[in-house]
Structure 1
Amino acid sequence: MASDDATQSLLPDEKNALQRSRFRQPMNVNVTEIKHPEQDGNSSLKWLESFLENQDCSFKKVFLVLAIYLGVGTLCFSLVMNQIEGKKTNGIVDAVYFSVVTMTTVGYGDLVPHTTLAKLLSCVYVFAGMALGGIILSKAADYIVEKQEILLVRALHMNEKTGLSEILEEVETHKVKYKFLLALILLFLLMIVGTIFLYLVESFEFVDAFYCVCSSITTLGYGDDSFSTRAGRVFAVFWILCSTICLAQFFLYLAELYTEKRQRLLVKRVLARTVTASDLEEADIDHDKTVSAAEFIVYTLKEMGKISQEDISLVMERFRKLDVDQSGTLTESDIIPSQSS
């Protein structure tokens, strides 16, 4: 059958084909998404340095977009600051602080717009900020965490003689776990720093400081406690951005870790269970009473949830369109017409 022959033709050199397809990916993909060949330490280091330089450019673009966004917000809110009620310290500082509090949806309530213009401006700004934080800043935070994964793995194996290629392979294998651990560590440090700052600078009681930190990073923002001094608001501009995004990434990695664990359990269960006659019947795509290696692989991948019947149907539909002579195989004579069109 066409599907059987087409799938079997991919099997003999499957490992090499997968590696070739990975290396054709552009260099701006995540380091944890690339399967590296065996390399010596120097070539791995050169590759890593090149990759990080490439990623730094993307991160600078994200930082530039954020700076422009906050700059526009600061300018607009400083012009209507007389239309915003609450405790004020310095015009520019309060405008930046209000921009960050609005963007992250913390909304303490210590500064509140009270005119139509200020309210409309805040509405527009918060929607734009949610989009920026949800799409661009989360990617930037993800990049920062990924960049530190290698340092974390080095620290875990510092008493062992582990080369860079082995470290990169370790990161590749357990990337979700290391992302989760790094996000947890960063979140813990940010909470400690925030609590200490509120205790020392804002003169909060220790419990109140911790309470304010928790209500801030979760964007709960009751408003009973907030940053009220000039120094506090300057600190809050940076701390709120980092902590709220870090918490969001932490829960994202937690969900990924849970999903990955369930997927691995499913794979183990599928590979360990006994194959029955009904399984063979279902795996027999061409109904010839025998199950080839290709048919068994396709059936098992479906059982693991790696692919769906819809995926297979779409691929086979494309194969049939390319198989001009209906031979069940693809040759150069089949693909030349599609290239010319």
Structure 2
Amino acid sequence: MDSEPFLGFRRTLTAPDSTSSDSQPPLASSSSVVLLLNHTNSTKHHKLNRCKTAPAMVVMRDIPTDTSTNPKPNSASLLQQAAVLLIIYLSIGVIIFCFNRNHFSGLETHPVVDGLYFCIVTMCTIGYGDIAPVTPSAKVFACFFVLIGFGFIDIMLSGVVNYVLDLQENMIINANKANQNHNNNNSVVQHNTNRLKLSPIDYIYDFAKGRMRIRLKVCLALGVVLLSIGIGTLVLYSVERLDLVDSLYLSVLSVTTVGYGDRAFRTLRARIDKRHRRVANWVLHRQITVEDLLAADLNNSGFLSKSEYIVFKLKEMGKIEERDILQICNQFNKLDSSNSGKITLRNLLSGHSI
């Protein structure tokens, strides 16, 4: 049924030589239909034309879509260069210090430990003053060493620290953006409900401005400083045997790189048991006075024995303390049961028999 009108239309088009008057209207109508179809095809053809000033498709594909300035992963070579330069800087300083120990005055332990301690204190511009150059050649070396460490190594390390911090911040920002896009795919009601709850991410990341919150950065900076001071205070109080005020004082001076020189690390565990060579030489060559004789006379005999003189000098150099001497004296008194001031074979035999 539906195909019959199309058959009539086809017959009309294929019989143009008909002379009947009834066939004229179909011819007119068919020509109008043909014109209408041609006009429709022409309009469709014109719609596909593109503007001559439009950029080519190849150029549009070449336009970069990511304009972010985040640090590239291949920038890790900066970390490698900084690590190599730092190792070279510290190695040169330790080698020169180990082969020229007599040119430096300071507390003495293992040469490598002392040299590494001197290099790090110099590079950080703290300046405790416990190790210092005393000869002209050592002072010239210290000048170049300070300038290189302050002007080059510090700049390189600062760039590395900034790069690492920026990389971590960008990672947090990208993670938050991905989380935000995931939340946008959910329903609007659920998203608004979650935003009103103020999750911990909201306190870290500012979604409106697209960056980490300034308050968080300030709190992190203050937290690092306070944590460093607290850990330093506890270490100095427990290892260096300083009181609480002196421990806090030295810790603050170390973190702020002030270093007046009145306090420094002195124990083996803190700056890995060292003694001051200059003070020791001064103590050994100093002439004894009347006050020294009275202080060193432990038995109140009016004269000093060799053992008493040795103990006095060791105490003056700081190699032993008073409590150590008291413990040794108590042990001696236990062995000297006759209070003769001597430990004899009889005392030892009587002690074993008991």
Where on the TM-score scale, by shorter chain, does this alignment land: which range? 0.3 to 0.5
Higher relative contact order (Cα pairs below 8 Å, separated by 6+ residues): 1
Q: Give the TM-score of the pair, scaled to structure 1.
A: 0.48
Larger radius of gyration: 2
